[in-house]
């Protein structure tokens, strides 16, 4: 079968790889009908050391079940299913607490002989714990929005929860990428009153406004901090969603939060410490978040997508087949595209 | 009047200073009957640059109201009152939210012409918002425990809340100083099942056990982390109270917390960043805490002290008059004493 393999920074190839096939009795074999390129795929795209064997890519996909292992009980061949960006058993201590990203028997796509999502098919481990049955056809018009539930919409929701967004709260969203935009949706959905997005790309800002952003701060650094304070009676936002992961964006996030407020971090941190200065502590700021346990949120978010209350699929502004994936990486890296959907 | 003035590292003096007196209409004048030396007083004791004028010290005290400003309504001359370690108006946005440490019109003892608590008398600004009336006599046997409500017991409680301690949770307390010991009390009071204290001073450990610690880890660094993991099924503690503030203790706290758990920080950080490594993010660890809004907790904690359900006053293992204060600093700095109570 064909799949996406990264061989180093800027070097993404579509290659013929061994066909996906069942290995464990808890596996499902899924033919991919939609996949996506993630902002986090851009980190290795910028920095990966050259590798002969390469690394299988992709962790966001929807597809049709072709076959199941003998222990799989909740899905069957022919089902249309969605996978969150990590697989998990659904039964361990952490899964029961809703923290499937820390599943004791889970793992990541593309690692340890598990296929990546940016290919024709995937062996899904722990299928019962991982996959969500979709009650629509595989070419349903809602596919883009459903696909965001695999990662970015769930991640925006996680950021909002970690930042303690609730009715009436003031919210700042740092970053206008797909996750930031989904963070705006999540904040509005949870009842935020004021939603300030920090970003400077006109196309993305337009989407953010449609999603519910009430204010835009296009400045950066200290000027951005100043602007957010002006918009919040000089106090800062009660909830801040850090949706980038760079040191600068983290400093900004921690600088625009109000005393007693919370920063929800979902941008994968590129540094090894949190640059808090001293005020974070003295202001009793809570720092929370991490990789989103998307699986825990699917049941809650799915109805909102199916019934059209949220439309996160608008973050996809480009569609390609597998052959176009390398250029899709380039386009996202060059900020030509917000997020690329793949129809293998 | 006589009061404690620090002139540099290791240089604490008892000096004659101008008598405390009313300035604002919202002030109260309080004669100090009990005060204390705080672990945080040891930071300048270790590092303060020499200063001719010096710095007034002390922020934990109980005393008798001598006089009040014309706007003060809730207390009167003769009342025995307790002050939390910062003063606050009780009416601003943050005070109403229970974050009196961020009061818009509050401040710290010893700063800006306000007296320190380690002296004969104190002008208390914003007396209505700050002071708590004590329903006992000034020589009541409960004085040591009541005095801890000004800071260390409230701080231990804050650490436990920030670390999301609740019934059945596993808790690790990093640090066996007065705050750590009060953290043990707070964790037990909030229903924690397992309370592991990390510390190595036999006298303090004995108190921690009396307070409810179920396990003691006397190792340090990686060995301490290993030990806590052994005690928690290899997973780490759900709630971790960081009661020291050094980089090493912060690393330990962040290393012994379970995925999805929370670290409540109350030790004043001595660094400018949080050394998270990468696992804190990927484990969805929450980092919360800061200076305790002690005022917010007094009504809840006071009955437990008055009715003898908690006995945090046991952290005081030395009593002195004002003349003995310099040696009290030395004793705490040398770890001869856990915490020193002052009877001016």
Q: Per CB distance under 8 Å, which residues of B are interface residues toward A?
A: 93-94, 97, 99, 101-102, 162, 235, 259-260, 265, 268-269, 272-278, 280-291, 293
A278: pLDDT strictly greater than 60: no
Which residues, at least 6 apart from A152, have a Cβ–Cβ distance to it below 8 Å? A38, A39, A60, A178, A179, A182, A312, A315, A339
A157 sits in the region (left: phi over 0; alpha: psi -120 to 50; else beta) called alpha
Q: CB distance A260–B286 less than 8 Å?
A: no
Look at residue B252 in the predicted model and tell me its pLDDT. Answer: 95
Tell me what the mean pLDDT of segment A95-100 comes to: 98
A220: pLDDT strictly greater than 80: yes
User: Of A8-22, A34-48, A174-188, B259-273, which range is least confident?
Assistant: B259-273
What pLDDT band is residue A268 in, cutting at 50, 70 and 90? Answer: confident
Tell me what the mean pLDDT of segment B201-213 comes to: 97
pLDDT one-digit tens code per residue, B78-101: 999 999 999 999 999 999 999 999
Look at residue B90 in the predicted model and tell me its pLDDT. Answer: 98
Q: Per CB distance under 8 Å, which residues of A are interface residues toward B?
A: 93-94, 97, 99, 101-102, 162, 235, 259-260, 265, 268-269, 272-278, 280-291, 293
Look at residue A276 in the predicted model and tell me its pLDDT. Answer: 76
Rounded to 10°, the helix A202-211/A178-189 angle is: 20
Residue in chain B lying closest to A289 (CA): B284
Look at residue B277 in the predicted model and tell me its pLDDT. Answer: 67
Residues of chain A with Cβ-Cβ distance to B269 below 8 Å are 276, 278, 281
Look at residue A271 in the predicted model and tell me its pLDDT. Answer: 77
What pLDDT band is residue B308 in, cutting at 50, 70 and 90? Answer: very high
- The candidate with the shortest Cα–Cα distance to B154, out of B318, B290, B335, B4, is B290
Look at residue A277 in the predicted model and tell me its pLDDT. Answer: 67
User: Of A156-165, B57-66, B184-193, B245-254, which range is least confident?
Assistant: B245-254
Look at residue B279 in the predicted model and tell me its pLDDT. Answer: 82
Domains of chain B: 2-151+293-342 (3.90.180.10), 153-289 (3.40.50.720)
Hey, of A259, A268, A272, which one would you mutate to test binding to chain B, going by the most B CBs within 10 A of its CB? A259
* Smallest Cα distance from B59 to chain A, Å: 16
Which residue in this structure is represented by tokens 């989103």? A292
Burial class, A333, CB count within 10 angstroms (exposed 0-12 / middle 13-18 / buried 19+): middle
B260: pLDDT strictly greater than 90: yes
Asked if A280 and A303 touch (Cβ cutoff 8 Å), the reply is: no
Look at residue A270 in the predicted model and tell me its pLDDT. Answer: 79
Look at residue A343 in the predicted model and tell me its pLDDT. Answer: 97
Asked if A342 and A318 touch (Cβ cutoff 8 Å), the reply is: no
Residues of chain B with Cβ-Cβ distance to A265 below 8 Å are 281
Q: CB distance A286–B286 less than 8 Å?
A: yes
Hey, of A262, A288, A290, which one would you mutate to test binding to chain B, going by the most B CBs within 10 A of its CB? A290
Tell me what the mean pLDDT of segment B162-178 comes to: 97
Look at residue B274 in the predicted model and tell me its pLDDT. Answer: 86
- The candidate with the shortest Cα–Cα distance to A287, out of B253, B290, B238, is B290
Question: Of B93, B268, B276, which has the smallest distance from its Cβ to A274's Cβ?
Answer: B276
B330: pLDDT strictly greater than 80: yes
Q: From CA A342, how far away is CA A344, in angstroms rounded? A: 6
* Smallest Cα distance from A275 to chain B, Å: 4
Tell me what the mean pLDDT of segment B26-45 comes to: 97
* Smallest Cα distance from A82 to chain B, Å: 23
Residues of chain A with Cβ-Cβ distance to B295 below 8 Å are none
Question: Of A259, A265, A288, which has the smallest distance from its Cβ to B94's Cβ?
Answer: A259
What pLDDT band is residue A37 in, cutting at 50, 70 and 90? Answer: very high
B292: pLDDT strictly greater than 80: yes
């Amino acid at each position: 079968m064909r799949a996406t393999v990264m061989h180093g920074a800027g070097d993404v190839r579509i290659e013929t790889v061994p066909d996906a096939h069942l290995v464990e009795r808890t596996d499902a074999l899924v033919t991919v009908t939609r996949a996506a390129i993630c902002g986090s795929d851009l980190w290795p795209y910028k920095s990966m050391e050259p590798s002969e064997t390469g690394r299988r890519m992709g962790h966001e996909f929807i597809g049709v079940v072709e076959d199941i292992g003998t222990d799989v009980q909740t899905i069957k061949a022919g089902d249309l299913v969605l996978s969150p960006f990590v697989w998990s058993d659904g039964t361990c201590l952490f899964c029961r607490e809703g923290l499937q990203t820390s599943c004791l028997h889970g793992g990541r796509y593309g690692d340890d002989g598990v296929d990546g999502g940016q290919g024709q098919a995937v062996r899904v481990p722990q299928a019962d714990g991982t996959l969500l049955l979709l009650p629509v056809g595989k070419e349903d018009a809602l596919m883009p929005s459903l696909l965001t539930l695999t990662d970015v919409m769930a991640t925006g929701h996680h950021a909002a929860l970690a930042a303690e967004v609730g009715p009436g709260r003031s919210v700042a969203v740092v970053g206008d990428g797909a996750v930031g935009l989904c963070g705006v949706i999540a904040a509005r959905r949870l009842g935020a009153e004021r939603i300030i997005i920090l970003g400077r790309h006109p196309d993305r800002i337009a989407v953010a406004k449609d999603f519910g952003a009430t204010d835009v701060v296009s400045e950066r650094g200290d000027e951005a901090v100043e602007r957010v304070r002006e918009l919040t009676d000089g106090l800062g936002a009660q909830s801040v969603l850090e949706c980038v992961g760079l040191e600068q964006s983290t400093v900004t996030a921690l600088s625009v939060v109000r005393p007693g407020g919370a920063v929800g971090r979902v941008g994968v941190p590129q540094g090894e410490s949190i640059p808090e200065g001293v005020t974070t502590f003295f202001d009793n700021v809570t720092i929370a978040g991490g990789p989103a346990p998307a699986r825990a949120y699917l049941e809650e978010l799915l109805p909102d997508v199916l019934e059209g209350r949220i439309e996160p699929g608008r973050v996809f502004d480009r569609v390609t087949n597998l052959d176009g994936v390398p250029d899709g990486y380039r386009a996202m890296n060059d900020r030509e595209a917000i997020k690329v959907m793949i129809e293998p």
